[in-house]
């Protein structure tokens, strides 16, 4: 049962006793008030999602404060959002979640249900209703976004806090997936270098430029990601 960062049954980062680690533990306790069964089940369901969730939680907090100049209090939400953003993976078969090779088209389509799976598990309170709007966007800042954007999401002011919160969680999730080099690394790919990460964050597969993240945002996030995976990540 996961109740603290110190109880994660995998190698801890060297800098485990930090303010961020303490904030992670506090956020984990808040998440366990309503989601203990989900988190414990996810720990059994996937061999790498636990580390991924920790990494996204701390990385999104750092991107918010170090790239987008959020205050610590403004960024606290990302810790709990990162911890729970993938609990919907419980609706995806273990064979797909833990597959040791690239997913087929059909498998990729099946795993998309995890976003809605997370949203339906969040408590029905104002805090989590707002968090759900952020979590729903963590795969929407990409060339093949899912779930499909609603009219409300399409019309979001790009300078609004909600748009920026969604963008930050999405950026953290992508940087983690691209650069993961430890317990959450994907067995079918090598970690991307910062240079490759920047290119993938700012260009489509055909080489054309995208507008989800600016070159400066991608550069700062990739450099932060390198530091994170060198010294702090699971």
| Average pLDDT over every residue of 3-26 | 60
Identify whether 52 is part of a domain.
yes
Identify whether 5 is part of a domain.
no
Identify whether 9 is part of a domain.
no
Identify whether 11 is part of a domain.
no
The tally of domains found in the chain comes to 1
CATH number at residue 117: 1.10.3210.10
Please report, to the nearest 10 degrees, the dihedral formed by the alpha carbons of residues 172, 174, 180, 185 taken in order: 130
pLDDT digits (tens, 9 = 90+) for 217-234: 999 999 999 999 988 777
Identify whether 7 is part of a domain.
no
Identify whether 10 is part of a domain.
no
Half-sphere exposure of 167 (CA within 13 A, CB side): 20
Q: Which two tokens stand for residue 9?
A: 């049954």
Q: What angle do CA 192, 196, 202 make, to 5 degrees?
A: 125
Choose the weakest-confidence range: 26-30, 44-48, 144-148: 44-48
pLDDT digits (tens, 9 = 90+) for 193-224: 999 999 999 998 888 999 999 999 999 999 99
The 3-state DSSP class for residue 114 equals helix
Identify whether 4 is part of a domain.
no
The full DSSP string for 138-200 is TTSSSSS-SSPPPHHHHT--TTSHHHHHHHHHHHHHHHHHHH--STT--TTSPPPPHHHHHHH
Domain with 99, as residue range(s), is 18-141+149-231
pLDDT digits (tens, 9 = 90+) for 105-141: 999 999 999 999 999 999 999 999 999 999 999 999 9
- Using a cut of 0.75, tell me whether the model's pTM lies above it: yes
Q: Which two tokens stand for residue 115?
A: 């976003």
Residue labelled with tokens 């790009």: 158
Query: Can you give the pLDDT at residue 185?
Result: 81
Provide, rounded to the nearest whole percent, the portion of the chain with pLDDT above 90. Answer: 76
Rounded to an integer, what distance in angstroms lies between the CA atom of residue 217 and that of residue 191?
20
Query: Can you give the pLDDT at residue 51?
Result: 87
Q: Which two tokens stand for residue 138?
A: 């963590």
Identify whether 66 is part of a domain.
yes
């Amino acid at each position: 049962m996961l109740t603290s960062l110190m109880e994660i049954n995998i190698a801890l980062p060297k800098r485990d006793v930090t303010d961020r680690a303490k904030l992670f533990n506090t956020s984990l306790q808040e998440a366990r008030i309503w989601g203990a069964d989900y988190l414990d089940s996810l720990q059994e369901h996937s061999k790498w999602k636990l580390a991924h969730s920790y990494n996204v939680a701390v990385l999104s907090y750092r991107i918010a404060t170090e790239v987008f100049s959020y205050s610590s209090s403004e960024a606290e939400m990302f810790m709990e959002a990162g911890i729970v953003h993938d609990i919907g993976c419980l609706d995806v078969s273990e064979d797909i979640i833990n597959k040791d090779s690239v997913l087929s088209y059909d498998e990729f389509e099946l795993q998309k249900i995890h976003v809605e799976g997370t949203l339906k598990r969040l408590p029905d309170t104002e805090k989590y209703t707002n968090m759900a709007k952020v979590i729903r966007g963590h795969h929407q800042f990409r060339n093949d976004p899912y779930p499909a954007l609603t009219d409300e999401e399409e019309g979001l002011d790009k300078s609004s806090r909600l748009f920026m919160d969604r963008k930050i969680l999405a950026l953290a999730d992508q940087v983690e997936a691209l650069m993961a080099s430890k317990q959450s690394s994907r067995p079918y790919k090598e970690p991307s270098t910062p240079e490759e990460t920047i290119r993938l964050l700012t260009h489509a597969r055909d080489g054309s430029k995208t507008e989800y993240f600016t070159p400066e945002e991608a550069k700062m996030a990739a450099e932060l990601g390198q530091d994170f995976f060198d010294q702090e990540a699971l």
